[in-house]
Structure 1
Amino acid sequence: MITVEPLSGDALRAAIPDLARLRCTVFAQWPYLYHGDPSYESDYLRDFAVAEGAVIIAAKDGDAIIGIATASPMSGQKPDYQAKFAERGIDVASLYYFGESVLLPQYRGRGLGHAFFDHREQQARLHGAKAATFCGVIRPADHPARPADYSPLDAFWQKRGYAMIPGLIAHFSWADIGDGEQSEKPMQYWMKAL
């Protein structure tokens, strides 16, 4: 039986190691190719969980966590996340930021991605957000690690009512799988009015 629900309190604290491993597992795949560290991820999730208005949604198959989605008010995010919006005159206080949405590959195509967005959009509205936003990594079409059968999520996001914000691109650094050094990656922002 697959369920999707917010985690909080003791249940969230107990799940953090599993959530951290899941983030590392899924983000190691295309297009992120992220060389993750479960200890760093656990710290990130603990910090995220205590942010005002934040939500962490878990998808479970029985007791096993198979997916996670996070969201919080943009005003609670790091200043460099907020800066690109402020530079454009977009009111940061009116935005809700969708962090990540990760799901094990064998569970994709079952509507869980929609459930993650439904839960986060509901949370955003509860906190008075006027719009939801997130960003996705931009990789070249000819990248050697790109799987031949890869299908970008753009159509899914558009179906949910999100649109790219032209020119609103941030840059974040991480080490790709197989690289010893971090490198900067462009991240395209998307937004939807709520």
Structure 2
Amino acid sequence: MSIAIRSLTGEDLKNTLKDLALLRISVFHDWPYLYEGTMEYEARYLQRYVATEGAVIVGAYDGDKLVGAATGEPLGEEYEAFQAPLRERGYDTDKIFYLAESVLDPAYRGQGIGHRFFDGREAHARGLGFDQAAFCGVVRPDDHPMKPADYRPLDPFWRKRGYEKLENVIVTFPWLDIGEAKATEKPMQVWYCNL
């Protein structure tokens, strides 16, 4: 199948937020995020991309249908929770581009779209003058009861892209897990690369 990849900013980005919200709710419901999302929360959470200069959505389209998306923005514009652990280790968060969520409908996986998401966001970051990038991956215990037996972590893929874990640099951010009555803080490992 032929998938078109488009980098979206400005009005195009704004017009994609509802479709991105639906994808996030669907894809992040699965392991390892286990996210119990709502459109109300998504509308508030994603609105920051509209207000952030330098934000991008790299969308994957099957015809007119958004089947995957990866977002990014200058780290200095991200929530404080994402900036503080890096700043505490001496990183200048105004010089790092943050690769936020990356979601892809399972039916479209294994076709190289994940690489194209990184390519698009990294090119956008370099175009803005950034030469460093970071992202976070959720940390779950190996013995978590909802972990699928066939789960394969994305660590090898991320390392192939040149990213490495920043040891002991952990972001905590709240979301509602499946079965939770209220949102709780989740640990996320920071990965970093010089572009």
TM-score computed with the length of structure 1 as normaliser: 0.95
1:29-108 matches, cutoff 5 A: 29-108=30-109
Partner of 1:189: 190
Shift of 1:43: 2.7
Residues 33 and 49 of structure 1: is their aligned pair in 2 closer, same or farther, counting only changes over 3 Å?
A: same
Report the 3-state secondary structure (helix = DSSP H, G, I; strand = E; otherwise coil) of the residue aligned with 1:149: coil
Partner of 1:137: 138
Q: Could you give the per-residue CA deviations for residues 11-60 of structure 1, whole angstroms, max 9, x where no partner exists?
A: 33332221111110001000000011112212322321330111111101
* Structure 2: runs of 5+ lacking an equivalent: none
Report if aligned partners of 2:81, 2:173 keep a CA contact under 8 Å in 1: no
Q: Which moved more, 1:53-62 or 1:11-20?
A: 11-20
Report if aligned partners of 1:49, 1:55 keep a CA contact under 8 Å in 2: no
Q: Which amino acid aligns with 1:93?
A: D
Question: How high is the sequence identity, in percent, across the aligned residues?
Answer: 49
Report the 3-state secondary structure (helix = DSSP H, G, I; strand = E; otherwise coil) of the residue aligned with 2:81: helix
What CA RMSD, in Å, does the superposition of the two structures yield over aligned residues?
Answer: 1.2
Q: Could you give the per-residue CA deviations for residues 119-176 of structure 1, whole angstroms, max 9, x where no partner exists?
A: 0101111111121000010001111100111110000000100000000011111111
- How far apart are the structure 2 equivalents of 1:65 and 1:20? 11
* Structure 1: runs of 5+ lacking an equivalent: none
